Structure 1
Amino acid sequence: MLASQEGERLTVGDIVAVLRDRAFALLVVILGLPNCLPMPPPIPLICGLLLLLVAVQIAAGMSAPWLPRALLGRSIARSDVERAVNRAVPLLRRLERWSRPRMAVFETAIGMRGMGLILLTLAMALIVAAPVVGQIPLGLAVCLVGLGLVERDGIVVLVGLGIGTLGVALNAGFVYAIVSGIMSLFSL
């Protein structure tokens, strides 16, 4: 694991290499987390664009995520990574008590490609999310889908997709209201 890596700092490339087959799922969780709380407008856009990149790779059937070389070379202090892992482990242990591998359809190559297309939809909705509150259901949905993929639990994935459907509907209503408002403004 990461403990075998030497030095005071770890590169993003080191972390992705250790994650192997779960790298995509953990990237999805990481990109959803900032959107679970009200954040200023650039955060959902940045997370949505990065999620779009990850979703396209999942839909294309790639076995490991491709990240730009500049990002892979970035380093993080080992102490920061260890602190984050120590905070996440208790939460993941609680989830693992309830969660178990179910609904293997999401583990097949076709299932993962379909999941990539669904994540692509969530990413596009996140890009145009209503400021402050529009991103919260989408962030929760992305996190649950990612956690379900990490734990190989189709039920958690489906709960995430249900919340994502509500989030997409909420944001579609927001976009419709803005477009209708602009159209009615010009027809005056």
Structure 2
Amino acid sequence: MGQTGTSFLILFLALPAITPIPGPFGMVFGTVLALISLQIMAGRQTIWLPGILSRRRLSHSIISNIVRYAAPIIKRAESFMRRDRLAAFTGHSVQMLLGIPIFLLAVIIALPIPFGNLIPVLALIVIAVALMERDGLITLIGLGLSFLAIVATFGLIYAGSSLLAGIRASIFS
């Protein structure tokens, strides 16, 4: 499926990471997204997956449920999309460069920050949909959300480390 398949894979792997379920979901999906982003940066048109994953097929019922629930949302999103709008931000070279923010967002998703995945996953969803629809304006919006996610994550890390330093100082003084 080329670029559309890559974009769908990003979308498919980002969505489970948005759920605030305890466990390693963020780390697992973030790690896989990071590996995919490295392949995007390398310019691969199709994504290589290990044999155990590439041989797997989704059942008809799973695909049917995804389509049934996603179709209204996709239809609404497509009303905002315009194919080839700002086309300079949708080509293969830009997709390779988008591997960088996708990688950073994937690393953020893998970090164990409670409720810290919302903005990074939202940014990945916007980037994936923009690449599927080849809409440069939406790609730029996704990049803006990526920047916001990175800044917010560094803010959370800084606030957390400052809080821990204050607690440590009060305990050992």
Q: TM-score, normalised by structure 1?
A: 0.79
Match of 1:38, SS state, is coil
C-alpha displacement of 1:71:
0.6
Map 1:116-131 onto structure 2 (within 5 A).
116-128=99-111, 130-131=113-114
Distance 1:96 1:27 in 2: 18
- CA deviation digits over 1:129-148, x for unaligned, max 9? 521x2111111111111111
Contact 2:11 2:128 in 1 (8 A): yes
Distance 1:170 1:39 in 2: 21
1:177 and 2:159 aligned: yes
C-alpha displacement of 1:97:
2.1
| Equivalent position to 1:59, from 41, 49, 66 | 41
1:135 and 2:117 aligned: yes
- Give the letter aligned to residue 128 of structure 1: L
Distance 1:38 1:165 in 2: 22
- Give the letter aligned to residue 53 of structure 2: L
Match of 1:32, SS state, is helix
Aligned residues: 169
C-alpha displacement of 1:43:
1.4
The aligned residue for residue 154 of structure 1 is: 136
* Aligned residues with identical type, % of pairs: 30
C-alpha displacement of 1:66:
0.6
Runs of 4+ aligned structure 1 residues displaced above 6 Å come to none
Distance 2:153 2:164 in 1: 17
- Give the letter aligned to residue 55 of structure 1: S
**What RMSD, in angstroms, separates the aligned Cα atoms of the two structures?**
2.1
Distance 2:110 2:13 in 1: 12
1:72 and 2:54 aligned: yes
Contact 1:138 1:164 in 2 (8 A): yes
Map 1:1-188 onto structure 2 (within 5 A).
19-101=1-83, 102-128=85-111, 130-131=113-114, 133-183=115-165, 185=168, 188=172
Contact 2:38 2:103 in 1 (8 A): yes
Contact 1:145 1:160 in 2 (8 A): yes
Gaps in structure 1 of 5+ consecutive residues: 1-18
Distance 1:96 1:23 in 2: 17
Distance 2:35 2:51 in 1: 14
Match of 2:58, SS state, is strand
